[in-house]
Amino acid sequence: MAFFTVRDDTSLHAEPLAISPWSATQVGGYAVCGALARAVEAEMADSGLSPLRFTVDLVKPVRSDGFTTRSSVVRRGPRMSVVDAAVVQDGEVRARATSVFVVPSDEPPGELWQSAEPLPTPPEGADVVGPPLITSGHNGWSRDYRMHQNAGRKSAWQTFPPLVAGEDMTPFQRAVTMSETTSLVCHWGTEGAGFINTDATLALVRLPIGGSVGLRADSQTSSAGLSVGTATMFDRHGVVGHCTVTAIANARRQVDLGGII
């Protein structure tokens, strides 16, 4: 079980797990993000640098019948490197990413303000591959999505299968794939999900530890069909980073997530 299989040595073909809830013939944004993370990571293998930021622009729907990725190093410096990547299908760019990698160092002296808001407690004994577990309002962790089709604050916790069959999913790929779920925890309301995101940005202070990762919705603001959502990414050891998505209304194809159990 994986999101993609490799054919012809290079092209990625979507498995059922990668299919978008918006369309049975398209790849979900989370899987597109993961594919771009894989391309970027290949450029930075053995560099010793840590990922700091990853931004994906979902330019055009990616069909499920196969695509390739390409990547290039924009700058390789002693303290910072920048890498671009793209999903290419039918000779055109369908999604693109820009990433920044840096050298870790010691913390500077002094004290800074930090939020004291507690993180959600991850579900115990639930680190098994599957759809995200959700908690909302006073409702505990579950995959009974009927419980969570409400206006309560949402968090998600997920354990992923391999991104590509035959390969181990790396912590970076896991974090990037999860970052797109920011749209789910921020844009799922009483009538389902009515916004579709156009991009996703992940800012990391460290890579997630373990096979599971979580997201807690922090804010959602919308006007005239335009929305911005932000979330905190966490694991069982604390905060991993923060995510932001921008989205546009897609009321004609609103997804009733309460019908998914």
**H helix intervals, 131-210:** 171-179, 182-187
5-45 pLDDT tens trace = 998 878 999 999 999 888 889 999 999 999 999 999 999 98
- Kindly indicate the confidence band of residue 255, based on its pLDDT and cuts at 50, 70 and 90: confident
113-137 pLDDT tens trace = 999 899 999 998 778 898 999 999 9
Interatomic CA distance for residues 86 and 68, integer angstroms: 8
| Whether pLDDT at 236 is above 70 | yes
Q: Which DSSP symbol is given to 108?
A: P
Q: What is the pLDDT of residue 94?
A: 97
CB 85 within 8 A of CB 40: yes
Find, among 8, 12, 131, the residue nearest to 62 by Cα.
12
Instruction: Report the share of the chain in percent with pLDDT over 90.
Output: 84
Which residues does 77 contact at the CB level (< 8 Å), separation at least 6? none
- Kindly indicate the confidence band of residue 261, based on its pLDDT and cuts at 50, 70 and 90: low
Q: What is the pLDDT of residue 127?
A: 81
Mean pLDDT of 164-179: 96
- Kindly indicate the confidence band of residue 149, based on its pLDDT and cuts at 50, 70 and 90: very high
Q: What is the pLDDT of residue 45?
A: 87
- Kindly indicate the confidence band of residue 147, based on its pLDDT and cuts at 50, 70 and 90: very high
Percent helix, strand and coil across the chain, each rounded to 5? 15, 45, 40
CB atoms within 10 A of CB 196: 21
The beta strands (E) that lie in the chain are given as 4-7, 11-14, 50-57, 68-76, 80-89, 92-102, 133-136, 139-142, 154-159, 188-189, 192-193, 195-197, 199-204, 212-223, 226-235, 238-249
What is the residue-averaged pLDDT of the chain? 94
| Whether pLDDT at 78 is above 70 | yes
Find, among 116, 137, 123, the residue nearest to 185 by Cα.
137
CB atoms within 10 A of CB 171: 19
Mean pLDDT of 222-229: 97
Q: What is the pLDDT of residue 254?
A: 86
CB atoms within 10 A of CB 112: 6
Greater pLDDT, 128 or 219: 219
CB atoms within 10 A of CB 104: 10
Interatomic CA distance for residues 192 and 205, integer angstroms: 32
- The three-state secondary structure class of 35 is helix
Token pair for 170: 């790396």
Q: What is the pLDDT of residue 23?
A: 87
Q: What is the pLDDT of residue 228?
A: 98
| Whether pLDDT at 61 is above 70 | yes
- Kindly indicate the confidence band of residue 81, based on its pLDDT and cuts at 50, 70 and 90: very high
| Whether pLDDT at 201 is above 60 | yes
CB atoms within 10 A of CB 49: 19
Q: What fold characterizes domain 4-103+122-259?
A: Porin (2.40.160)
User: What phi, psi does 158 have (nearest 5°)?
Assistant: -145, 145
- Kindly indicate the confidence band of residue 91, based on its pLDDT and cuts at 50, 70 and 90: very high
Q: What is the pLDDT of residue 260?
A: 64
